[in-house]
Amino acid sequence: MCGIVGYIGARQAQPILYNCLAKLEYRGYDSCGIAISNENLSIYKDTLNINELAKIVPILQGTTGIGHSRWATCGEPSICNAHPHYDCTGKFAVVHNGIIHNYEILKKQLIAEGHHFISSVDTEVIPHLIEKYYKGNLEEALEEALHNIVGSYAIATITSGENKLVAARKDSPLIIGVGESERFVASDVMAMLDYTNRIVHLEENEIGIITDSNVKIKHKGSYIQRKEHKIEWNSNATGKMGFEHYMLKEIYEQPRIIGDTLKTDYRNIKQIVSSQVVKDKEIAPLLILACGSSYHAGLVGKYIFEMTLGISVRVEFASEFNYYGHIPTKTRAIVITQSGETADTLKAVRKLRQAGCYVLAITNVIGSSVTHIASETIYTHAGCEISVAATKSFIAELAVLYRIAMLCADKRLEIADILAGAKQIADKGRGILDETDGIKELGEYLAGYNTVFYIGRGINYPIALEGALKLKEISYIHAEGYAAGEMKHGPFALLSPVTPVVAIVARDNTYEAMINNIREVKTRKVPVIALMEEDDDVVRGIADFVINIPCVNPIFSPMVNVVALQLLAYYAARKRGCAIDFPRNLAKSVTVE
């Protein structure tokens, strides 16, 4: 989940590495470091963010370098555990994202051979292995080192002896950027958008040998050709555009994303979606797999497909499915992963594909790992999302799921007419963003509590889960989402005047039951914040506080309710002074199990 960058060219590497790393801090920010190659290697690292590191590192001359922003998986955050790591001679430097499962065995062997280790992390075995096998060619030494390694990795390495950068990947993302007389390496395209949008993808088990004017790719001992791709994003997409935080900017981008997605034809896969996703419904349910916020989107998808298409849908955490999931005959699956690199989700896709299953991937990142192993891919086109907490990527996933339902229901006119109302949703979401004062006040109110419960029913139960996740992610307030009817089965024991409840009310077949649930909560003297349609006087009469939500067809209520809950979490975190875009202990792209 760490961020890797590398540069080789005619310009000084140090400021370019700083700039690239700053764009990758969402991948990890408990420590960072850089290594510059000249006549010798210069390595500086610390338990700081990249802007703080830049203030203390002296000017380093050199046009080749690597950098790293860390999210700790092996070894606590410390200077010695930070990357880059180096060998006994100080000749080789390595940055790494992934996990080396057999590093303890390798470390013991290397120590017995006379190598000295200074950290407690798995990565440090890599430069020592490179030193062991180096005979004047960095590419060959890394290739030999990788034969010893069991695990996942994206690696970039340099040496003071050769003017090149060598990279390798297995189960972790790594791309190469192509500029004029310069080349880049990064975990994510956002790192290099200030310099180039020309990308070469490094695939599984490949090694990239990179100079300022050339890229060679090696797979199983043979060199192969790989075409460049142009990325449509630009560097402006990675700015805050005047907003205080990336998260707020990304929330305000959602109406445009909703509108664009719900108008997208997806003509190239319409027939596949119609024939594959909903065929043979009597044989096996449609399987949806995801993690985190994408899992909540999948739960909403379950309600959408069952309500509009009449098919049975099973939703699983990819992380659990990998170890306990049963694959029925003729399973058709949808996997949802914002980054396209989520390790648990990729493992599930491989498991399904090995079983001969059709897998449709929904992702935001063109050319990401999931696109190479799924049967087909739909892109959300949400654009780059910097804030660690998913907002616009979540709503884009929802919009794609609604769009799939539209495509598959196009011959059922009564359903198509309902879904045609989706064109209003973007305007309804924009209406919430135009009236945020009340939400801001209630977010600041929640900031004074330590525990908050979110409740919903039916298609808004997953939105209760997502609302609670947003609050706990960025404000560090303990929050739990529940199906409202389940509160009586245990959680009521925790209710008190200091445990507010956020209730999501929709005018669907759950409405009366939801009213009863709110009354049950209120009898325990619990403050209730209700999300309700603007003209709902019944809810207004029993809740302590209300957030007015525009009237929409109940099937679309998740799209407007989640915008309000994102803002509620944002203003609670802002009141608490939290690091909203980069919350503690988290990272955007979860590339390890």
Query: Is 591 among the domain residues?
Result: no
Residue 90 to residue 35: CA distance in whole angstroms? 11
**Is there a single domain that holds both residue 412 and residue 299?**
yes
**Global pTM value:** 0.82
**Is there a single domain that holds both residue 382 and residue 524?**
no
Q: Identify the segments of the chain with pLDDT beneath 70.
A: 1, 28, 233-238, 265-284, 410-423, 587-593
Query: Is 188 among the domain residues?
Result: yes
CATH number, domain of 139, equals 3.60.20.10
Query: Is 587 among the domain residues?
Result: no
**Is there a single domain that holds both residue 337 and residue 476?**
no
CATH number, domain of 503, equals 3.40.50.10490
Closest CA to 388 of 258, 254, 245, 244: 245
The residue from 45, 107, 218, 588 that is catalytic is 588
What's the pLDDT tens digit per position in 61-115? Answer: 999 999 998 877 777 878 888 899 999 888 999 999 888 999 999 999 999 999 9
**Is there a single domain that holds both residue 256 and residue 201?**
no
Give residue 249's pLDDT: 93
What's the pLDDT tens digit per position in 504-559? Answer: 999 999 999 999 999 999 999 999 999 999 889 999 999 999 999 999 889 999 99
Query: Is 320 among the domain residues?
Result: yes
**Is there a single domain that holds both residue 59 and residue 159?**
yes
CB proximity list for 162: less than 8 A, separation 6 or greater: 137, 138
**Is there a single domain that holds both residue 158 and residue 35?**
yes
Q: Residue 265's domain spans which residues? A: 239-431
Of 410, 431, 452, the last residue of a domain is 431
**Is there a single domain that holds both residue 417 and residue 460?**
no
Give residue 298's pLDDT: 97
Number of compact structural domains in the chain:
3
Residue 371 to residue 379: CA distance in whole angstroms? 10
**Is there a single domain that holds both residue 361 and residue 460?**
no
Complete DSSP assignment for 157-218: EEETTEEEEEEEEEBS--EEEEETTEEEEESSGGGGTTT--EEEE--TTEEEEE-SS-EEEE
Give residue 400's pLDDT: 92
Q: Would residue 588 show up in a list of annotated catalytic residues for this protein?
A: yes
Give residue 261's pLDDT: 81
Indicate the residue type of 137.
N
Give residue 405's pLDDT: 83
Query: Is 328 among the domain residues?
Result: yes
Query: Is 586 among the domain residues?
Result: no
106 sits in which H/E element:
helix 103-112
**Is there a single domain that holds both residue 232 and residue 249?**
no
**Is there a single domain that holds both residue 134 and residue 209?**
yes
Query: Is 585 among the domain residues?
Result: no
Residue 327 to residue 356: CA distance in whole angstroms? 10
The residue from 2, 32, 291, 384 that is catalytic is 2
Residue 78 to residue 536: CA distance in whole angstroms? 54
Of 181, 201, 236, the last residue of a domain is 236
Q: Would residue 408 show up in a list of annotated catalytic residues for this protein?
A: no
**Is there a single domain that holds both residue 203 and residue 297?**
no
Of 186, 201, 236, the last residue of a domain is 236
CB proximity list for 35: less than 8 A, separation 6 or greater: 41, 42, 43, 65, 66, 67, 84, 86, 93, 95, 158
53 sits in which H/E element:
helix 50-56
**Is there a single domain that holds both residue 176 and residue 99?**
yes
